[in-house]
Structures are given as structure tokens and as C-alpha cells.
Amino acid sequence: MIEIMIDLQGGAKAPLYEKIYEYIKKEIVEGKMTQGEKLPSTRRLSENLAVSRSTVEMAYDQLLAEGYIKAEPCRGFFVCDITELYRLEKQVSAPKSYEREKKAKKRKVDFSPYAIDTGNFPYNIWRKINKNILLDDSEDLLLSGDGQGEYELRSAIAAYLHQARGVNCSPEEIIIGAGNEYLEILLAQLLGREGTLLMENPGYPRAYYTFLNMGYTVKTVPTAEGGLTLDNVCRENPDLIYMMPSHQFPMGTVMPLKQRLELLKWASEAANRYLIEDDHDSEFRYRGKPIPSLQSIDCYGRVVYLGTFSKSIAPSLRISYMVLPPQLMEKYHSECGFYSTTVPRMQQEVLREFIEQGHFERHLNKMRGIYRSRHDYLLGELKKCSWVKKISGDYAGLHLLVQVDTVLSEEELCNFAAEKGVRVSGISKYLFPEAQSRKEIGKELQAPTLAEPVLLLGYGKLSEREVRHGLELLGGVVREA
């Protein structure tokens, strides 16, 4: 029988049973305790180590559960054959150069248009809801659940959309998925993969490449030429139109009502025409009344509505929703109704309670006030900068567009800014190549470029001090050119 002596006083702060467990496990893994060797009884080891017997029992129980030892009735505990056990090795420490790079990245002023304020996330409330849900020990939460998303959550989303965005839908018409990209892939399967999709240029890259990868021919119309006007649409004659009518990304434009009605009528004139409304950043508007959704005025059943909680709550939540017209909902049930949901049921339940208990509304109102304050501050500071030629895309969303008076190209300006510690992107990043299909991906296709640099300055995550510092550094880059 093995004699075991362990120093329980030194080393890291950890429960005593865990120290005993780790010591014996290490001895077995390293071959110092071999297969078949007998371990001391729990009583004997507890006496030798001067700890309670329950402490040793807990350590042995853990070793038993993981297969390092086995218990034989009336005989005791013995070391097992561990050749088939999975063992995860600890990761090698990152080199110092990587750590320096990581710290340098943290020091940068990041004007990302995608960034949100995570510091004001209601951690205590979210934690409490999670805890309360787990206290119920509901086995249903461990099952896959409704492939369309839990009905109760869909009901809460339907109520919110009707109140906040004027969307007319029932819970039966909503599909919940892990991100807009998944829902767009699902939609492409419902509509077929040989069609043509039209969108504005510059536009939203993730949607562009998602539909491209699904086999669509993606055509674009320049926003500078009116964007998705009826004339442009009729000239291209697409099957689908991807649009952001309430707040176009990245330009921040709002589609007039007349233009919306014309496109709805156009879509109604052929059997397989649909308008995909991505209600991007719709929650954050700082002047005037909220712009109603396109879906709210659709009397033809031609609008597919997409929304997400990525900006309003957190990107890592990965919960988006799609509202389908009745005819597409029927097709979903017949062709894709067997799909499992891509969002964990437990996460859905937490979000449902977060909405139904009023926390979502309060959080949204709080963040709207915070973002409005940051928007106004950035706008005021930009108006003081001599190098700022024009500001647009204001009073909504989480970024502004700034045309810069400089001899530098947009690429040079962004690169020099990065050297100064400022991360900023130009509008050219969101410009797409002209009509492109999946077959052409391998070709050297270049997006058009603009004559003057236009920067996207996001303010969602930045403090006033960071905004001021970032603009000073940008101004220095322009002056040094």
C-alpha cells in the first residue's frame, strides 16, 4: 500500500480536498503511482494528513468520478489504467512580445462603428435571472426545445416589435436564430440559391458576403445616385432587395416614405419578389420620433424583417430574430421545420424574463441616453476641428461619417492614424465590387474608391476623454501630411 504525505500548508490557496486530489492525480499521471497499487483508506489518510475524513472522501470521490482510481468492495481503492483518459495540457504562457502587443492594443483609441458600451451592462440583474432559472431545476431547459425558438420568447419579441417598431406579427411568424447571418442563410434556403439580390453600395459587408456565399448574384446600386430608387431597381430587376430603410449602414440615411411605398408595390407585382428589411440600429435615434419599420406598412406580405439584440444588449448574446410573411412561414415548416434551434434554451429563457420583467426597456432607455450624450459630445468636438470638411449620418446609430480635408488618401490616413494609436476605418472598407457572383470570387475584383477620405467614427464605447484624445491624434496626422 502507498504511503502518501502531502504538504497542505504551502502552494496556491485552494480547498484541502482539491490539493489532495491534485497531488494524487499528478502522481498517477506521472507514473509514480502505477496501475493496481492500493491507496490508503480514507480513515488512515485523514489521520496521516490531520484533516477530516470527509475531506479525503471528497478527493477520492473526484478521482473515482474521473477514472483515476477504482473502489473494490471490502478491499479498498486502487490506481486505474489511465492510458485512455483524456487529459488537457496547460497552455504554454504567451511570449512577452505578445503580451506587449496586447497591452498596446488596449491603449488604442478605437473608433469602431460596431463597438458598444459594455460597462453599463446590467450584470447584477442578468446574474439574478440566471440564478433564479437554475434554482427551479427544470429538466426542460436541458432539452433542445422548439426549433423556431421558445414560444414565450417569441411572444415577448412580438410585443416589443409592435410597440417599438410598429411591426405587425404573431409569435408564429417569428424565427429565433444565432445571429443575422444564420437567419440569412436560412432565408436563402427558403427562397432558393439561384437568385439575384440587390443592395446599396456602400453597405453592410456581412450581409453582402453571406448571400454571395449562398450562391446569389449580388448587385449593388450607389447610394450617391439615390440608392434603391424605383428606377434603379427596375433597371437591375432583382429577385430580392436587402435594405436598411430606417438607418442605412454605413451612410446613416433614412428612406423616404414615397420610396418605400414604390418598392413595396414593385415587390407585389411578381410572385417571388421580397424585400429584406434589416432594422439596423433602429433602437438608437436622438432626434424626432422613431422611424416606423417598412414591415409596418406592408400590406402585400413581401417584407422579411430582421432584427438582433447585439447592439441593444450585447454581441455575445447571439440572439437575432426574423419575421417571415405567411407564405414563407408555410415553406419554412414544410422544408426547414425539422431544424433544431441554434440558440440555447436556457439563454432564451433568461432573455424572455429580462424583457417581460421590464429590464430590457429600462436598459434600452438608459443606453439611449448615454449614447445620445456621447453622440452630442463627439459632434460638438468635430465642429471645432479645422480638418473636418463635412459631417453626416448624425442623430442615429452609433457612428458618424466625417469627410476629411487632407492631401492623404483614405488608406494613408487610416494607416498613419493606426501608427499614432488610433483605430479608424474609412468608408471604402464598406464599398463592394460591382455585380459579383460566387463564381467570380477568385478573380481580382476591386471595389470603387472615393476621391476624398471619409471616416467612420464610432462612439459607442468611448469616454469623452478618449474621444478628445483620439481627435487630437487624428488632427496631428492631418497637420503632419
Indicate left, alpha or beta for 207 from its phi (over 0: left) and psi (-120 to 50: alpha): alpha
Q: C-alpha grid cell for residue 127? A: 446574474
The answer to whether residue 102 sits within a structural domain is: no
Q: How far apart are CA 463 and CA 465, in angstroms?
A: 5
Q: Which CATH number characterizes residue 51's domain?
A: 1.10.10.10
Domain boundary among 292, 325, 357: 357
Q: Are residues 173 and 242 in the same domain?
A: yes
Q: How far apart are CA 257 and CA 225, in angstroms?
A: 18
Q: Are residues 344 and 397 in the same domain?
A: no
- Residues spanned by the domain of 464: 109-120+363-480
Q: Which CATH number characterizes residue 216's domain?
A: 3.40.640.10
Average pLDDT over residues 212-233: 90
The answer to whether residue 324 sits within a structural domain is: yes
Q: Are residues 352 and 385 in the same domain?
A: no
What end-to-end distance do the CA atoms of the chain give, in Å?
79
Q: Are residues 326 and 194 in the same domain?
A: yes
Q: Are residues 167 and 284 in the same domain?
A: yes
Q: Are residues 115 and 136 in the same domain?
A: no
Q: Are residues 347 and 372 in the same domain?
A: no
The answer to whether residue 100 sits within a structural domain is: no
Alpha-carbon 455 to chain mean position: 23
Q: Are residues 353 and 396 in the same domain?
A: no
User: Model-level pTM?
Assistant: 0.79
Query: What percentage of residues in the chain have a pLDDT greater than 70?
Result: 91
Domain boundary among 327, 357, 387: 357
The answer to whether residue 338 sits within a structural domain is: yes
Q: How far apart are CA 75 and CA 422, in angstroms?
A: 68
Report how many domains make up the chain: 3
The answer to whether residue 230 sits within a structural domain is: yes
Q: Smallest Cα–Cα separation from 218: which of 426, 442, 441?
A: 441
Torsion sign, CA atoms 294, 437, 318, 427: negative
Encode pLDDT of 120-173 as tens digits: 999 999 999 999 988 877 788 888 889 999 999 999 999 999 999 999 999 999
Containing 243, the helix (H) or strand (E) segment is strand 240-243
Encode pLDDT of 72-131 as tens digits: 999 999 999 887 776 665 555 556 555 555 554 555 899 999 999 999 999 999 999 999
Q: Are residues 304 and 264 in the same domain?
A: yes
Q: Are residues 298 and 184 in the same domain?
A: yes
Domain boundary among 340, 357, 374: 357
Q: Smallest Cα–Cα separation from 393: which of 244, 241, 225?
A: 244
Q: Which CATH number characterizes residue 429's domain?
A: 3.90.1150.10
The answer to whether residue 281 sits within a structural domain is: yes
The answer to whether residue 31 sits within a structural domain is: yes
The answer to whether residue 144 sits within a structural domain is: yes
Q: Are residues 181 and 290 in the same domain?
A: yes
What is the rounded average pLDDT for all residues in the chain? Answer: 89
Encode pLDDT of 350-371 as tens digits: 999 999 999 999 999 999 999 9
Q: Are residues 270 and 338 in the same domain?
A: yes
